Amino acid sequence: MISHRLRLAVAALALATAHPVAAQAQEPSFRVMSYNIRYDNPEDRPDWRARRGPMARQIASISPDILGVQEALLPMVADLSAGLPDYAHYGVGRDDGDKAGETTTIFYRDARFERLLAETRWCSPTPERPGKAYDAALPRTYTRVVLRDRASGVLLDVRNAHLDHKGAESRRLCARQIRDQAAWPNARLVVLGDFNSLPTDPPHAALTSGENGLRDARAASAVVSGPAGTFNDFSPSAPPTGPIDYVFVDRGFRTARFATLTDTHDGQVISDHFPVVAEIVLRPLN
């Protein structure tokens, strides 16, 4: 059986091969990771106390420049932050806009990026106020940060979402809301998260359709590794279903590599979702 450490080493090495290509072309790259980390449910096996250390080590081994997490209660964010000292983060609870409920927190390397904006929006006709809308079972949010790459000056408008697990109309309208919110001037969009929907479903079309639609990094990547399915229900076996976790990028970007990571620790997966990672090549606006 492949060990957790070896799986991480292989995955990190595979992703790292994109960097020399970007360097030769004088196009800086950045690595984006989306991870539904499963809320702290004491009845889970393994529970959060068993998962938090391996998860922080897994993330550190992959070394993303930007990380979006879903289902992250604030104490869980604090646990990950302690294990990821090179990252700053932003996110608020979906229940009250402060400390209550799950967050869609974004971590980013503060030595690389200057943060220009941070906000949380609710999937509703009143996105500035906490609450649920449409047919959603729960309040749903997306977190937005605008980052300036200190070296290249490239601006990234990053949005991390967790769409509803029951409400199809909520999912469709939230995806449209994310797409329709105007981007920061001269910034390129990066959208990631758990969309609880397949590539054939309306949320995917809402984000990718049209002349200015985003690209699904998995579909656009020249190199793809790992299973298509991302929800594992705490089983190490790759699920037969399609992806529900995504990275979407501006059409001005090139996706050099994409991976779904199936790492285990002591024979157990680290969350009930596999994380996804994309290596994106920066290109300045024309």
Domain ranges in the chain are 4-281
What was the pLDDT predicted at 277? 98
Rounded to whole angstroms, the Cα distance separating 92 from 119 reads 9
Rounded to whole angstroms, the Cα distance separating 59 from 62 reads 5
Q: Assess whether pLDDT exceeds 90 at residue 6.
A: no
Query: How confident is the model over 194-238, as pLDDT tens digits?
Result: 999 999 999 999 999 998 899 999 999 989 999 999 999 999 886
What was the pLDDT predicted at 18? 42
Residue 72 per-residue DSSP state: B
What was the pLDDT predicted at 8? 45
Length in residues, the chain: 286
Residues in contact with 182: Cβ distance below 8 Å, sequence separation at least 6, in sequence order: none
pLDDT class for 275, splitting at 50, 70, 90? Answer: very high
Q: Assess whether pLDDT exceeds 80 at residue 154.
A: yes
Half-sphere exposure of 34 (CA within 13 A, CB side): 30
CB 64 within 8 A of CB 55: no
Burial per residue of 9-46, b for 16 or more beta-carbon CB atoms within 10 angstroms, e otherwise: eebbebbeebeebbeeeebbbbbbbbbbbbebeeeeeb
Half-sphere exposure of 76 (CA within 13 A, CB side): 30
Kind plus residue range of the DSSP H or E element containing 120: strand 113-122
pLDDT class for 77, splitting at 50, 70, 90? Answer: very high
The CATH code for residues 4-281 is: 3.60.10.10
Query: How confident is the model over 14-30, as pLDDT tens digits?
Result: 554 444 443 444 577 99
pLDDT mean over 126-130? 97
What was the pLDDT predicted at 98? 97
What was the pLDDT predicted at 1? 35
Average predicted confidence (pLDDT) for the chain: 91
pLDDT class for 106, splitting at 50, 70, 90? Answer: very high
pLDDT class for 285, splitting at 50, 70, 90? Answer: very low
Query: Does the CA dihedral 173-33-196-201 come out positive or negative?
Result: positive
Query: How confident is the model over 186-196, as pLDDT tens digits?
Result: 999 999 999 99
